[in-house]
Each structure stands twice: as structure tokens, then as C-alpha cells.
Amino acid sequence: MGDSSQKVTGGCMCGAVRYEAPAPHSVIYCHCKDCRRHSGAPVVSFVGYLKSDVKWTGEARNIYKSSEKIERGFCNKCGTPLTWEGSVEELGGDLIELFVGTTDNPDDHIPTFHIWHDERIQWLETVDDLPRYRGWAHDGSEPYAHGPVSKD
């Protein structure tokens, strides 16, 4: 199980929107409130890329501008949330994060750390030894924990 070194393919539930990309630069868990609201899930996982690395086919995804610098993509036909999109200077520019659940082989994409862990839903904690960051992982900060954190 788990081979994020391979090409990634995926798309929405109805198949109208499809994508293809090389191996991702990251696979993460995000606990932020905005990702939870966009997905309807208590935590999300993403495979990350430079935006130019992802090739789209089929219908164009719709884009919702969720804040000044962040956009979120979804299928206009079935509503499947597909992306988080934004510019992150620390990571080299315009990024796109694809929801792991929309990939054709989600078992291949095992998260390696948690971001925005302070915003997590308090009744949910994953049982793993991964680093947990209060915010972004690539802003020079150190993880504040490795493994589950007890309720604050």
C-alpha cells in the first residue's frame, strides 16, 4: 500500500472533470475550518503540486474564491470538491492541492504531516506519529507535536 512516486489521476464523482499529474510534492492532512466547510469532512487529505503540473480534461472545474488569495475548485455537475488553490511563496508560487479522495488510487497517497492542527475538531484525533503543525508546515516553524494530542 502507498506509492506516491507514480503519476496521479483522478476526478469528480460523475466523471465530468478529470486530472492527471506527476508524483506529488506533498501528501498532507489539513484540519482548517475552511477545508472542513468546503469538504463537509472533519479533516481532509491532499496531494500537492505546483499548479502548472496538473493537466485537466473533460469539463472545466468551477472555482469559488473563498478568500483574497485562496480558490477552491469543484465539479459544476455533481458538486464534488476537487481542489484548494493558492499562492504560497515558501513553496515556490502557485499551488494546487487535490483531495486525496478524488484520486483513482487513494491508498497510494499516505499523508506525512498535519497542518492547521490547532483548528482541529476536538473530538477527532488521528492515531499516527506524524508531525503536527499549528499552521503551515513550510513557514519555518517546527511541529508542536508528533502523534496524538490530548484535548486542550
Q: Work out the pLDDT band at 152, boundaries 50, 70, 90.
A: low
Say whether pLDDT at 58 is over 80: yes
Show the domains of the chain with their CATH numbers: 8-146 (3.90.1590.10)
Q: Provide φ and ψ at 12, rounded to 5°.
A: -80, 175
pLDDT grade, residue 26 (50/70/90)? Answer: very high
Q: Which residues 6+ apart lie within 8 Å of 62 measured at CB?
A: 73, 74, 75, 76
What pLDDT was estimated at residue 135?
84
Confidence of residue 145 (pLDDT cuts 50, 70, 90): confident
DSSP the chain: ---TTS-EEEE-SSSSEEEEESS-SEEEEE--HHHHHHHSSSSEEEEEEEGGG-EEEESPPEEEE-SSSEEEEE-TTT--EEEEEEEEGGGTEEEEEEEGGGBS-GGG----EEESGGGS-TT----S--EE-SS-SSSSPPPSEES-----
